[in-house]
Structure 1
Amino acid sequence: MENKAAFSLEKYFFSKVDINLENRKSNDLGISFEPSGVFLSDSSSYELKFIFKADTEGGEIPFVAIECVATFKFENVNDIEEIPTYFYRNSIAIIFPYMRAFISTVTLQANIPPVILPTMNLSSLEKPLRENTTQI
């Protein structure tokens, strides 16, 4: 009988926060997410890097860029090929509420109109995350 892969969130932190209001050209926001990951085979853990960027129409450089790093621990996974496909979608869904709350808090504390993200279906990020995952 084959053991099912299980994973849990071990920790997360915000490794980079950049707010540059000189890059904010209007109130029309455009947002983007850039997921990537590294599977650490020696510890059966996965490091997810989740980058959020907010820019405005006419702005070439984001006025808010926030990078979150989350570490997930696997059971019964020893190689990148053994990571179940549902992990990629679920890992983003697990970390997104923390990212969303942090974005609201940090932009509010900057005394600017806060960037308040709605709940979002980010399942479209599953494929980019899988494609931007490496193993060391």
Structure 2
Amino acid sequence: MENVKKSAFRFDDFFINEVQTKIENRHFDGEIELGMNLSGSSVLRNSKSQLELTIILRVEAEDYFNISISTVGLFTTSFVEGDEKFESYLYTNAPAILFPYIRAAIASITAQCGIPPVRLPLMNLTEFGQKLKESRTIEE
């Protein structure tokens, strides 16, 4: 049997820090237009081997509801800063790994609020990753 090579980038944990919902109208059928605002921050820790990625997503359907969710993903890496893979994993792959968890949380929360579950569309997070890179914090 072949040994499996250990990944240099590991997803350790996901949790929700805060959720805010406001339901204005529970009765809507069919398609609704969603507005989404994605923001976040990243913190590199412990000699840059740990990444804490915070993503805040606000979803709004005018006259129906708005939801804000703040989530955190924790990652560990053995890549070093300056490595091409370091940038790719931290600022492209990490948000892409977290987004399905956020989508599932939004669907579950909306269903539990008594409205049809909101299924967020898939998103290209490349631009978001660039914003994270520009606003990162490094803690030793």
Larger radius of gyration: 2
Q: 5 Å matches for 1:11-90?
A: 11-22=13-24, 27-42=32-47, 44-57=49-62, 63-77=66-80, 84-87=86-89, 88-90=91-93
The one-letter code matched in structure 1 to 2:23 is L
Matched-pair contact (CA < 8 Å) for 2:48–2:138? no
Residue 135 of structure 2 corresponds to 132
- CA apart distance, 1:65: 0.2
> 5+ residue gaps in structure 2?
1-6
The aligned length equals: 127
1:96 to 99, 111, 129: 99
Q: Which moved more, 1:38-47 or 1:26-35?
A: 26-35
Contact 2:10 2:76 in 1 (8 A): yes
Shift of 1:81: 5.3
Mapped pair 1:109 → 2:112:
yes
Deviation at 1:58, TM superposition (A): 7.8
Q: Distance in 2 between matches of 1:120 and 1:29?
A: 13
Give identity over the alignment, percent: 35
Report whether the alignment pairs 1:123 with 2:122. Answer: no
1-structure distance, mates of 2:95, 2:82: 19
| 3-state DSSP of counterpart to 1:84 | helix
Residue of structure 1 aligned with 2:11, choices 1, 4, 9:
9
Runs of 4+ in structure 1 deviating by more than 6 angstroms, as ranges, are none
TM score, norm. by length of structure 2? 0.77
Alpha carbon RMSD of aligned pairs, Å? Answer: 2.7
Q: Deviations over 1:30-60 (max 9, x none)?
A: 111112110112572010001110124489x
State the TM-score, normalized to the length of structure 1: 0.79
